[in-house]
Structure 1
Amino acid sequence: MKLVISALVMVLALVACQTKPTKVTSEQGVIGAPEKLMDGGPVILDVRAPFEFNLAHVPGAINIRWEDFSSQDPNSRGVLQDDLFAVARRLSLIGIDPDSKVVILGKGKLGAGEEGRIAWTLEVLGVKNVHTALHTVAREMNPKGDEPPVKNKSMWKPVVDESLFIDSKNFKAYATQKLPPLKMTGKKKSKKAMDLPVSSLFGMNFNEAKLKVVILDVRSSAEYGINNLTKYKNVKAPVVQLEWKEFFTDSNTVAKDLAKKLESKGITQDKIIMVISSHGVRSGAVTFALREMGFRQSVNFAGGYEQWK
């Protein structure tokens, strides 16, 4: 009897010591956008780091980074490249033109808004059928699961939507609610200096628009507490803080039910919303989300605090 018990104990011990099976995480059908999002064979972009992308990605996805389309100036990394026609040419080589359906995959709230930033960039260039989703969303692109070849598009000239962004000079003017003085060149004003340095926003003159402006800071509460625009005496426009993550659902789609919370903070659809983050990535994502939610007078200050300094 003792021998039987001893043998049983040894068997149980051996079973307990065996290596546990590796947990396999499926890339298919996890949290994500509705299945119809993949209908029509969209161009799929993946904005994660190359290492993560190479570990696993949706068949046919193309790995890009928001930095690929931005300034190389270390003081204004979030500003788009000057030559947007060159950016459009690059997009045509990966199958994107203004009529393309584009699905942008990323890490959602575990990332830093890169998907929304790319979505905003595409909309600036005139590509309007753009969606965001988690990278875990997958769909069999073909029965074998092979990578479908990238089909180039014809070269196209972007129709830039300038209402989606605001430069540093204009941002400062509306934030301080003060027009900068015209510069004098010698005894005469040059034709260039005669031009107002501040553009009209959404068809309104400066005095009309400045009364509708609200600044939306979409950094974290911790970042906001360390430094924000309310600490600058010359800033007169109201400043509201709401973290960028609140603008997206857990499945990385736009949180359209956030409108009531925004209204409770004084952000309504008749306001001009100037969105700011560190260097235009999170603010780009939020500008994209706000437009999807119906806040059409939203602009991204792509230079962010990095350029403000």
Structure 2
Amino acid sequence: MGFNRVFLFILVAVAIAGLLRFGGRPYPVRVPIESSSVFAVDSPDLSDRWVVSADRAKRLIEDGATLLDARPSKLSMPDRLGGAIAVRWQDFSQPNNPNRGKLIEDDRVLTEKLQAIGIFNDRPVVAIGDPVRGWGEEGRIVWMLRSLGHRQAVFVDGGGLALAQVDLSPIESPTPLGDFTIEHRGMWSIDRDALHQGLERDNWVVIDTREPREYAGETPYGETRGGHIPGAVHLYYKTLLTDEGKLLDRPSVRSLLLEKGITREDRAIAYCTGGVRSAWLTAVLADLGFEVKNYPGSMWEWSADRKLPIQL
């Protein structure tokens, strides 16, 4: 038997074995392909993915991921997805002004809270929010988990409504006690003093993610002083969403960022009122590969310190 026949025989044998192994169906190998029509990239590796499509979220959940519903209860009823664990970003944050945007400082308390909602070290976490009516709470939960060391926390593009449209099977089992342990990762956060010291750096771009009226000086959410951090560019975070609450396609998002002078060569610093809307933008920019940090104290903290400058 010549070499070519031997080689052909081996190829046929391997093909038959593969068909037998996978029930006659070709094995679905997924590779990260960037689509021009959607934001979320379907990738088998979640370490660099912060945003997933509803279809991808469904597969993760059916494979055992923890599903967190970060929508405020007044918004999510009556369509709370069966089996989703209700969470509030406030439950993991300090209770009093001006520190309401900052995470609880006691790691023991945070660990107990996160384990109680079924967070595991090696199990993906999928968060949903209400991107149209909410404040980006799902992004806050994902930013928090990533900052505390979880490497597979993502939120669903389009929120709870998008996930409800993919026929997700109800999760019947009770919430198990997780085993998550905190390992602080500071690359996605910045504190007040570090931000103040870095305002004059050429490669920093500070992004105000609040509503236009807030940037202009109104204080509808209880800031001590009105205005914005000096030099901050204004990018209301919902500018990146469609009317249905889904992210614009990636080229459109990049174009809007570029219009504001925000590029991947810069270090982006996002803030809002209490580090919620800015956490959402942090997640989106991180998914795009930006070097980005969230300022969790945001204007609640900044405006309360009268030694710090504010621009109108």
TM over 0.5: yes
Give the drift of 1:228.
Answer: 3.1
Counterpart residue identity of residue 176, structure 2: K
Deviations 1:7-31 (A, max 9, x none): xxxxxxxxxxxxxxxxxxxxxxxxx
Give the drift of 1:51.
Answer: 4.5
Deviations 1:245-264 (A, max 9, x none): 13445454585331122123
- State the partner residue of 1:38: 58
Give the drift of 1:243.
Answer: 0.7
In the alignment, the residues of structure 2 paired with residue 254 and residue 77 of structure 1 have an alpha-carbon distance, to the nearest angstrom, of 30
Q: Which runs of 5+ in 2 are unaligned?
A: 1-51, 218-225, 304-312
Counterpart residue identity of residue 137, structure 2: E
- State the partner residue of 1:105: 128
Counterpart residue identity of residue 125, structure 1: L
User: Kindly tell me: are residues 63 and 38 of structure 1, through their superposed partners in 2, closer, same or farther at Cα, counting changes over 3 Å?
Assistant: same
In the alignment, the residues of structure 1 paired with residue 114 and residue 280 of structure 2 have an alpha-carbon distance, to the nearest angstrom, of 19
In the alignment, the residues of structure 1 paired with residue 249 and residue 105 of structure 2 have an alpha-carbon distance, to the nearest angstrom, of 32
In the alignment, the residues of structure 1 paired with residue 72 and residue 259 of structure 2 have an alpha-carbon distance, to the nearest angstrom, of 37
How large is the Cα RMSD of the aligned pairs? 2.3
Alignment partner of 2:270: what SS?
A: strand
Q: Which residue of the other structure, out of 149, 174, 177, is the alignment partner of 1:152?
A: 177
Alignment partner of 2:256: what SS?
A: helix
User: Kindly tell me: are residues 244 and 255 of structure 1, through their superposed partners in 2, closer, same or farther at Cα, counting changes over 3 Å?
Assistant: farther
Deviations 1:85-142 (A, max 9, x none): 4313322222212322111112112111111111111111112222223212236665
Contact 2:75 2:130 in 1 (8 A): no
Q: Which runs of 5+ in 1 are unaligned?
A: 1-31, 178-209
Counterpart residue identity of residue 56, structure 1: D
Q: Which has the larger radius of gyration?
A: 1
Counterpart residue identity of residue 61, structure 1: A
Give the drift of 1:45.
Answer: 0.8
Deviations 1:173-194 (A, max 9, x none): 112x3xxxxxxxxxxxxxxxxx
- State the partner residue of 2:118: 95
- State the partner residue of 1:228: 227
Alignment partner of 2:82: what SS?
A: coil
User: Kindly tell me: are residues 252 and 130 of structure 1, through their superposed partners in 2, closer, same or farther at Cα, counting changes over 3 Å?
Assistant: farther
Contact 1:247 1:289 in 2 (8 A): no
Alignment partner of 2:184: what SS?
A: coil
- TM-score, normalised relative to structure 2: 0.69
Q: Report sequence identity in percent.
A: 28
Alignment partner of 1:273: what SS?
A: strand
In the alignment, the residues of structure 2 paired with residue 159 and residue 253 of structure 1 have an alpha-carbon distance, to the nearest angstrom, of 30
1:239 matched to 2:266? The reply is: no
Mapping for residues 185-264 of structure 1, pairs under 5 Å: 210-226=201-217, 227-229=226-228, 235=230, 238-248=231-241, 250-252=244-246, 256-257=250-251, 258-264=253-259
Alignment partner of 2:238: what SS?
A: helix
Contact 2:121 2:181 in 1 (8 A): no
User: Kindly tell me: are residues 76 and 247 of structure 1, through their superposed partners in 2, closer, same or farther at Cα, counting changes over 3 Å?
Assistant: farther
Mapping for residues 17-28 of structure 1, pairs under 5 Å: none
- TM-score, normalised relative to structure 1: 0.69
